[in-house]
Amino acid sequence: MQLYNSLSHKKEDFIPRESGKVSMYTCGPTVYHYAHIGNLRSYIMEDILEKYLRFTGLDVTRVMNITDVGHLTSDGDTGDDKMLKGAKREKKTVMEIAKFYTDAFFADCKKLNIKTPDVVEPATSCIDDFIRVIEGLIEKGFAYEAGGNIYFDTSRLEKYYVFNDFKEEDLAVGVREGVEEDSNKRNKADFVLWFTKSKFDDQELKWDSPWGIGYPGWHIECSCISMKHLGEYLDIHCGGIDNAFPHHTNEIAQSEAYIGHKWCNYWFHVLHLNTNSGKMSKSTGEFLTVSLLEEKGYNPLVYRYFCLLSHYRKSLVFTWENLDNAVTSYNKLVEKLVPLVKDKSGETDSAEYDRLMKGFTDALDNDLNTSLAITAVYDVLKSKANAATKLALLAEFDKVLGIGLISAAEKLAESAESGAADIPQEVLDLIEQRKAARKEKNFALADELRDKIAALGYEVKETRQGTEINKI
Ligand code: AMP
Ligand code: ZN
């Protein structure tokens, strides 16, 4: 398989260090708010990557952290603590906030068919590991104490800007965000490993350390959690593109300084989901969630399908219209599958199977080209293969794609059988009016019509196949 590696800026053959095994690390969510559908684009594409690696026969171990401490509103160690901000906003403790949004994150993942990584580790469970690595970095001369905090000394590295795209002037973080720059830093690019004295006196979570009571910086958690579970060598590290700098750059700096050799071979970065008005932001609270999609009647798996239609290395614009187009194309696919799930007859034709399977693997072998993988789904449906062959292929594809086409078609076939024949015309008319209201985004009217339909004894639901109607 060929994958684009952000470290080399080119597509490379993906070759794990140990034959047949892959160690994979993913930066997990900062759990001070719901994940937005932009965050979830990254997790969907990382899930596809993991599943495809497994599909090709590799034994993947995947680790993810949960950031429940240390992430400040600016990735450059300035601003407020995000967790503390979340706790204040909701008048809860930091740990309550962390638990609530961690659960919410995995509930969203489940709805999107995103597999939970083999290991999920909250930063707050690993404080001793962080302290040990920071001590090691101080011993090796890569870290220093200043103003009570411990900093990583980037001037000790031959090359700090490993992803090449960033320059010193990009680091004017403090200035840009109207927050004072940290005068303790010896070099602009230095970053905090451990905070003791800082302006965050009301920091809720604090731990004892050799440098006084304090809390860890954000970057150290990923290095430590990865090394703790996957050892000194990592095959592939994933995250959204905003994490490349400074977060991943700092992870590499401190990990390699600590272990004394190259740490991770491949870096997989997902480009952002944007809206027409720009980037979605958790910190401003202006963002779309999976629950909101559901409230508006969209099936979360259609959002997954929407993400698969674009390549992960291109930024993707979210509009309702684009999502509606994905709904239409998803529903068409499901409809095409209905005759297949009704007639599963025939023996699998292995020559056709292999030919069509190759279309799918060729697509994903080419830097995880998911939109071509969807084309491979169409190729199966258009082919002359029999129903059994087609279904066998689509079931295999779905182990990676995770868009549930077969089960959606089965459900549609079932509901068609149970029949709309005896639904009164009055109800059918209201359903049509409701569809039109939803199309115009008049959700208040759509809700009103749903109530009218309910009063006539029918429940109307939006499902992945479109509108479903059942007798109450
Ligand atoms: P956070 O919870 O803010 O730490 O972010 C979780 C993940 O979402 C990280 O991998 C980010 O790089 C990624 N991310 C943040 N914003 C977006 C976006 N608009 N589109 C795609 N991924 C994003
Ligand atoms: Zn990370």
> Is there a contact between 235 and 142 (Cβ–Cβ < 8 Å)?
no
- Regarding the beta carbon of 38 and ligand 1, being less than 6 Å apart is answered yes
Distance CA 422, CA 380 (A): 36
Whether residue 28 has its Cβ less than 6 Å from ligand 1? no
Q: Is residue 197 part of a domain?
A: yes
For a substitution probing ligand 1, which of 25, 30, 31, 42 has the most ligand atoms within 8 Å of its CB?
A: 42
Does 117 sit in the ligand 1 pocket, CB within 6 Å? no
Q: Are 152 and 190 in contact (CB under 8 A)?
A: yes
Question: Ligand 1 atom closest to Cα of 41?
Answer: 21
One domain, residues 146 and 202: yes
Residue 345: per-residue pLDDT: 76
Q: Are residues 329 and 458 in the same domain?
A: no
Q: What is the pTM of this model?
A: 0.88
How many A from CA of 405 to the centre of ligand 1?
27
Measured in Å, residue 238 CA sits from the centre of ligand 2 at 8
pLDDT at 168: 55
Residue bearing the CA closest to ligand 1, atom 16: 39
CA of 159 to the centre of ligand 1 (A): 26
At 165 the pLDDT is: 56
Based on its alpha-carbon atoms, the radius of gyration of the chain, rounded to whole angstroms, reads: 25
What is the 3-state secondary structure of 123-169?
A: HHHCHHHHHHHHHHHHHCCCEEEECCEEEECHHHCCCCCCCCCCCHH
Count the domains in the chain: 3
Note the pLDDT of residue 201: 63
Whether residues 144 and 64 share a domain: the answer is yes
End residue of a domain, out of 226, 254, 270: 270
For residue 145 the two structure tokens come to: 């104490």
Ligand nearest to the CA of 64: 2
Given the DSSP bridges, would you call strands 458-463 and 278-279 parallel, antiparallel or unpaired? unpaired
Q: Are 31 and 228 in contact (CB under 8 A)?
A: no
**Residue 328: inside a domain:** yes
Which ligand has the minimum distance to the alpha carbon of residue 226?
2
Q: In this structure, which residue's CA is closest to atom 11 in ligand 1?
A: 240
CATH number at residue 393: 1.20.120
Give 26 Cα–ligand 2 centroid separation in angstroms: 7
Give yes or no: residues 200 and 348 share one domain: no
Query: Which residue stretches of the chain have pLDDT < 50?
Result: 171-179
Q: What is the pLDDT of residue 346?
A: 80
Q: Is the Cβ atom of 70 under 6 angstroms away from ligand 1?
A: no
Verify that 375 and 226 share a domain, yes or no: no
The answer to whether position 412 is within a domain reads no
The residue whose C-alpha atom lies closest to atom 12 belonging to ligand 1 is: 240
Find the ligand nearest to 238 CA. 1
User: Is the C-beta atom of 109 inside 6 A of ligand 1?
Assistant: no
Work out which ligand 1 atom sits closest to the CA atom of 280: 19
- CA 251 – CA 238 distance, rounded (Å): 12
Q: State in Å: Cα 241 to ligand 1 middle.
A: 8
Domain co-membership, 344 together with 249:
no
Based on the domain organization, do 328 and 429 belong to the same domain?
no
* Cβ neighbour number for residue 259 with a 10 Å cutoff: 16
Q: Is residue 206 part of a domain?
A: yes
The CATH code of the domain that includes 185 is: 3.40.50.620
**Atom of ligand 1 lying closest to residue 30 CA:** 2
The preferred substitution site among 30, 48, 242, 313 for testing ligand 1, maximizing ligand atoms within 8 Å of CB, is 242
Whether 275 maps to a domain, the answer reads: no
Together in a domain, 77 and 186: yes
**pLDDT confidence of residue 420:** 57
pLDDT of 399 reads 98
Q: Hey, whose CA ends up nearest to atom 6 of ligand 1? A: 29
As given in the structure block, the two tokens for residue 435 are: 């569809």
Is residue 239 in contact with ligand 1, taking CB distance under 6 Å?
A: yes
Q: What is the pLDDT of residue 285?
A: 64
Does residue 255 lie in a domain region?
A: yes
Q: How far apart are CA 252 and CA 263, in angstroms?
A: 7
Ligand 1 pocket mutation pick from 25, 39, 45, 69 by most atoms within 8 angstroms of CB: 39
Q: Are 317 and 179 in a shared domain?
A: no
Residue 283 makes CB contacts below 8 A (sequence gap 6+) with 73, 82, 85
Q: Give me the pLDDT at residue 175, please.
A: 39
Tell me how far the alpha carbon of residue 30 lies from the centroid of ligand 1, in angstroms. 9
72 lines ligand 1 (CB under 6 A): no
Query: Are 142 and 186 in a shared domain?
Result: yes
Range of the domain at 53: 14-270
Domain membership of residue 157 (yes or no) is yes
Instruction: Quote the pLDDT of residue 7.
Output: 94
How far does residue 219's CA lie from ligand 2's centre (Å)? 6
Res 321: pLDDT:
94
384 CA distance to ligand 1 centroid (A)?
Answer: 42
Q: Is 41 in the pocket of ligand 1 (CB under 6 A)?
A: yes
**What pLDDT does residue 173 have?**
44
Domain boundary among 405, 438, 462: 405
Is 262 a domain residue? yes
Shared domain for 320 and 382, answered yes or no, is yes
d(CA 279, CA 271): 11
Do 248 and 348 sit in the same domain of this protein?
no
